[in-house]
Amino acid sequence: MNTPTYTKVDPALSPPKKDFRFLLMAIVAGLGGLLFGYDSGVVAGVLLFLRSTFHLSASMLGLFVAIALGAAAVGAAFAGVLSDTFGRRPVLIITAIMFILGALLAALSESIAMLFIGRIVEGAAIGVSSVLTPLYLAEIAATHWRGAIVTINQFYITFGIFLSYLVDYALSGTTGGWRWMLGLGAVPGVILLTGMLVLPESPRWLAGHNLLEKARAALRFLRGTLDVQAELDHLHKDVVEEGRRAAPWARLLQKDVRKPLIIGVGLAIFQQITGINAVIYFAPTIFQDAGLSSASVSILATVGVGAVNVIMTLVSMRLMDSVGRRKLLLWGLCGMLTTLIIIGLGFTLNLHGTLSYLVVFMVAAFVGFFAIGLGPVFWLLISEIFPLAIRGRGASIATIANWVSNMVVSGIFLDLLLTIGRSSTFFLYAGMTVLAILFTLWVVPETKGVSLEDIESHIDTL
């Protein structure tokens, strides 16, 4: 039986030089990730003020968190079909406007209705951004840079969370600080909007719609050279001649899409049921339960966890295109499993005093292992593994699964603590991590150095 061969890099192309275009892609397009992270993390501080300002009950505070996650799932559901139909760039431009409007509505709200409408708009924008930012980055980046460029999105997410923790801490003692916490989310939205007016449409999307001259112009801008004929010919052959244009939803039911769907949806669910967002949203609560002396100490410890998240994401970016996606995923999952078991044992032994900081250290290590593996690898893979004709919709389905899992896990976390206890909760997450390791070993391929077209053609042999 002959094994199909595939091209490790775009044919006839050497790596383009890293100039201002590379930086523009890295900084501007990734701002969608920063907004995703900031708007997700900032609620931790905002909740402390909303209780007194709007006299919200515990259930209403929970709804304030959940409503953005629900809107994100809806936004993710529409992101794929909209971007496959109208293009990646215009939908990202509209998303930037939604971020700005949502942040301002929530920050200036004088009623509960206006506050919740602002969060719905922001949540929908987060959902769209979580699908399209890695997708757009994967399609505009040269193969040689794709892992690092797309992983920048995850760096922005982690940096946005870290930044939100710092903002929450800095503004926690000011009058009306919660308004500034929410309103500052409009600033990167303005930068994203400005940048997307400069960056071109995805050349792959343009080629898929037979707009070859526009695809040529986009490639010239992105690669910084007039000689893009080899890459354009490659796109034309794989995208147009082989019929990889936008396809109906029924295309998702075909046999060659089955494996990408299993990988995307599976990793989406495992990313949440292993406990990451329960830790991100409720880190101060976990630390106080572990015996830290005060709320301020718990918040500072949370800032430290956010810093670890950022640092390890940078490490992942450096290794993604050399070590490979699958190996980093397995390393990260094994580290997560170890730390979850130790956290569970720490709560079982009911550590006090200095020993309680062991739980803090293990939570930080857990987040660090997530940041090097399951965090960035999931978002990168769903931007790579789906056929171009349904790439947006395939990524949407995986992202919807991610947001729904996020909403369920975050919504039941406190109930789990009360029902089965702190140690059992973390042992449960450890069990889910074991399943994630087995899933990766059996199903997840290595896509390092393989062009998007060759991934599409040979997904079953990778």
Q: pLDDT, tens digit, for every residue of 86-110?
A: 999 999 999 999 999 999 999 999 9
In degrees, rounded to 5, the angle at the alpha carbon of residue 293 between the alpha carbons of residues 288 and 295 is: 60
Of the chain, the end-to-end C-alpha distance in Å amounts to: 16
Token duo for residue 79: 């992101």
Q: Is the pLDDT of residue 5 over 50?
A: no
Token duo for residue 383: 């931007």
Taking phi first (over 0 means left), then psi (-120 to 50 degrees means alpha), and beta for anything else, what does residue 109 get?
Answer: beta
* Positive or negative: CA dihedral 362, 366, 372, 376: negative
**How many other CB atoms sit within 10 Å of the CB of residue 30?**
27
Burial class (CB in 10 A: 0-12, 13-18, 19+), 192: buried
Q: Which residues of 388-404 are buried (b: 16+ CB within 10 A; e: fewer)?
A: bbbbbbbbbbbbbbbbb
How confident is the model over 229-249, as pLDDT tens digits?
888 887 777 665 545 555 666
pTM for the model: 0.72
From the list 237, 330, 238, 346, the residue with the least C-alpha distance to 287 is 346
Token duo for residue 178: 């919660």
Q: Is the pLDDT of residue 203 over 60?
A: yes
What integer pLDDT is reported at residue 7 of this predicted model? 45
pLDDT-based confidence at residue 283 (cuts at 50, 70, 90): low
How confident is the model over 255-270, as pLDDT tens digits?
778 899 999 999 999 9
| Residues in contact with 286: Cβ distance below 8 Å, sequence separation at least 6, in sequence order | 279, 359, 363
Q: How many Å apart are CA 35 and CA 100, to the nearest integer?
A: 10
Q: How many Å apart are CA 406 and CA 397, to the nearest integer?
A: 14
What is the arithmetic mean of pLDDT over 414-435?
88
pLDDT-based confidence at residue 352 (cuts at 50, 70, 90): low
- Is-contact 33 156, C-beta < 8 A? yes
What integer pLDDT is reported at residue 435 of this predicted model? 97
